[in-house]
């Protein structure tokens, strides 16, 4: 039975998709079969981090939601393209991605007509079964809408990403309260885009004291991340970087919670 983990942030711009991609690949590097679903249908983009061009899509999550195909037809095996900076493969497991469409017409259709969010739950379960997944990561839409609430409600665990600023702190409190009311079994906080001037221990202490939830990782801003500009999986390019080591630490925690 796959572990379903929702990765969420109250606001956009937290680096949620980037962290989702890195954590998922780190879990796969431990020999696990990992799926990722981009449910940020209104502003998709995690496929860009994996170097997947939309012109190469045969189907997307949108096609499944409109009844055009089965959910497993929307999944792309990304493993062959996951290589370290020296060109060597470093993944003993498998990574599959279900992308959402970036086409303006598809996004407009969602905004205009909506979709049956119940199909998402069915799709998650079917995808996990058909691909024999160990983990299914849900890259959610920021904020709290119907499909996000459904994803949270059916998840075995939830990762909430926030930045160290007041707006994120307030919004995260709302998200956390909702997740707790929905009885999500495991909740982890990740603090991202932390300025180098901030002391790691101090930030972690403040966040844990405020929310009463474990901070599973803290990621500082760095020049290498800015240079990469979401054009690849960071820890494959910089495996020894402190950011990459933190990614692995989070992956280990998630696997230990299984």
DSSP three-state, residue 140? coil
Dihedral Cα 125, 100, 232, 92, nearest 10 deg: 20
State the Cα angle at 135 between 172 and 87, rounded to 5°.
100
Can you tell me the distance from the alpha carbon of 40 to that of 101, in angstroms, rounded to the nearest whole number? 10
- Residues 136, 20 contacting (CB under 8 angstroms): no
Strands 76-77 and 94-98: antiparallel
Taking only the tens place, the pLDDT of each residue in 5-63 is 999 999 999 999 999 999 999 999 999 999 999 998 888 989 999 998 888 889 999 99
The encoded tokens of residue 178 equal 């909702």
pLDDT band at 122 (very low <50, low <70, confident <90, very high): very high
Quote the percentage of the chain above a pLDDT of 90.
68
Beta bridge partners of 161: 190
Q: Which residue has the tokens 């839409």?
A: 141
- Would you state the pLDDT for residue 87? 67
Q: Which residue has the tokens 């249908």?
A: 41
- Residues 202, 145 contacting (CB under 8 angstroms): no
Domains in the chain, start-ordered, CATH in brackets?
A: 3-256 (3.40.50.300)
Query: pTM of this prediction?
Result: 0.94
- pLDDT at 101 exceeding the cut of 80: yes
Q: Please, which residues have CB within 8 angstroms of residue 49's CB and are 6 or more apart in sequence?
A: 17, 18, 21, 230, 231, 232, 233
Q: How far is CA 54 from CA 13, 44, 49, 83, in A?
A: 22, 11, 12, 21
Q: Which residue has the tokens 């996004």?
A: 107
Can you tell me the distance from the alpha carbon of 174 to that of 95, in angstroms, rounded to the nearest whole number? 32
pLDDT band at 205 (very low <50, low <70, confident <90, very high): very high
> Which region among 62-66, 149-153, 223-227 has the lowest average model confidence (pLDDT)?
149-153
Angle of helix 242-256 relative to helix 16-28, nearest 10 degrees, comes to: 70
């Amino acid at each position: 039975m796959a572990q379903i983990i929702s990765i969420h942030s109250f606001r956009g711009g937290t680096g949620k998709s980037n962290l989702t991609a890195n954590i998922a690949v780190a879990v796969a590097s431990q020999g696990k079969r990992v799926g990722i679903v981009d449910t940020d249908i209104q502003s998709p983009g995690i496929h860009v981090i994996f170097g997947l061009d939309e012109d190469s899509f045969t189907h997307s999550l949108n096609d499944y939601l409109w009844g055009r195909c089965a959910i497993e037809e929307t999944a792309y095996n990304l493993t062959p393209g996951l290589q370290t900076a020296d060109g060597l493969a470093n993944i003993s497991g498998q990574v599959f991605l279900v992308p959402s469409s970036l086409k303006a017409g598809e996004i407009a259709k969602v905004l205009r007509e909506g979709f049956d969010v119940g199909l998402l739950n069915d799709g998650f379960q079917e995808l996990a079964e058909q691909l024999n997944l160990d983990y299914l990561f849900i890259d959610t839409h920021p904020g709290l809408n119907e499909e996000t609430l459904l994803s949270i409600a059916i998840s075995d665990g939830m990762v909430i990403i926030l930045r160290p600023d007041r707006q994120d702190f307030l919004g995260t409190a709302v998200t956390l309260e909702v997740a707790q009311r929905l009885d999500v079994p495991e909740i982890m906080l990740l603090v991202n885009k932390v300025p180098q001037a901030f002391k790691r221990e101090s930030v972690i202490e403040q966040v844990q004291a405020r929310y009463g939830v474990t901070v599973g990782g803290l990621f500082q801003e760095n020049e290498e991340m800015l240079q990469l500009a979401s054009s690849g999986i960071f820890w494959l390019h910089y495996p020894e970087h402190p950011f990459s080591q933190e990614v692995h630490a989070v992956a280990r925690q998630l696997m230990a919670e299984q």
